[in-house]
């Protein structure tokens, strides 16, 4: 069994003259990311590895989660402005020693991908988190594997 956790970046700001890629987190985003990471850790949600979009708001969300988890972090360009196929490509590249991974990315891609692998209807709020159990031993088996929603957390409801 593998576990896939999808995390939409926390609330961002958009200062004047700032490119989309370089948008920072807003104060609310910083607070939500810290609260969500602590909530997940206190509820024994184990994660082996973090993979983040390199965009500032996603990577900073990942770094805040990592203050709680203390894991290896990698970035993947395909998680910025992603399509559903981008997520699958990142998943197929994961090492099979990783049992549980959290991917930090953006809407609309993250909501679309979650909806493509689940019967549930998702629209991720900022810093929303969905966890799935993937019935496979290798990430290369992801596409054909049975997927089950384990949890869906929203910052305003934890």
CATH number of the domain where residue 39 is located: 3.40.50.1240
Q: Is the pTM of this model over 0.95?
A: yes
Q: Can you tell me the distance from the alpha carbon of 38 to that of 58, in angstroms, rounded to the nearest whole number? A: 17
| Average pLDDT rounded to a whole number, residues 53-69 | 98
How many CB atoms sit inside 10 A of residue 149's CB? 15
Domain count, the chain: 1
* Strand ranges across the sheet with 129-134: 72-75, 49-52, 100-105, 2-8, 129-134, 147-153
Q: Can you tell me the distance from the alpha carbon of 79 to that of 55, in angstroms, rounded to the nearest whole number? A: 9
The answer to whether residue 63 is domain-embedded is yes
| Average pLDDT rounded to a whole number, residues 26-34 | 98
The answer to whether residue 100 is domain-embedded is yes
Q: Is 95:48 a contact under the CB 8 Å cutoff? A: no
Element housing 6 (H / E): strand 2-8
Strands 129-134 and 147-153, by their bridges, are antiparallel
Place 72 in a pLDDT band, splitting at 50, 70 and 90. confident
With a cut of 80, say whether residue 12 has pLDDT above it.
Answer: yes
Q: Can you tell me the distance from the alpha carbon of 44 to that of 18, in angstroms, rounded to the nearest whole number? A: 37
The answer to whether residue 124 is domain-embedded is yes
Q: Residue 127's domain spans which residues? A: 2-13+21-153
The answer to whether residue 158 is domain-embedded is no
Q: Is 38 annotated as a binding residue?
A: no
The answer to whether residue 71 is domain-embedded is yes
Q: What is the dihedral of CA 25, 91, 83, 150, to 10 degrees?
A: -70
Question: Which tokens in the block code for residue 100?
Answer: 């549980």
pLDDT value for 122: 77
What is the full DSSP assignment across 6-41? EEEPPPB---TT--GGGPPBPHHHHHHHHHHHHHHH
The answer to whether residue 66 is domain-embedded is yes
The answer to whether residue 44 is domain-embedded is yes
């Amino acid at each position: 069994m593998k576990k896939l956790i999808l995390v939409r970046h926390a609330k961002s700001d958009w200062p004047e003259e700032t490119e989309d890629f370089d948008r920072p987190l807003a104060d609310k985003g910083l607070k939500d990311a810290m609260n969500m990471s602590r909530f997940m850790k206190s509820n024994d949600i184990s994660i082996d590895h973090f993979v983040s979009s390199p965009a500032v708001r996603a990577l900073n969300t990942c770094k805040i989660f990592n203050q709680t988890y203390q894991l290896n972090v990698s970035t993947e360009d395909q998680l910025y402005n992603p399509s559903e196929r981008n997520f699958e490509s990142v998943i197929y590249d994961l090492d099979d020693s990783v049992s549980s991974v959290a991917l930090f990315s953006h809407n609309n891609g993250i909501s679309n991908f979650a909806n493509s692998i689940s019967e549930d209807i998702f629209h991720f709020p900022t810093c929303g988190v969905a966890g799935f159990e993937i019935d496979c031993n290798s990430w290369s088996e992801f596409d054909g594997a049975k997927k089950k929603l384990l949890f869906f957390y929203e910052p305003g409801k934890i």
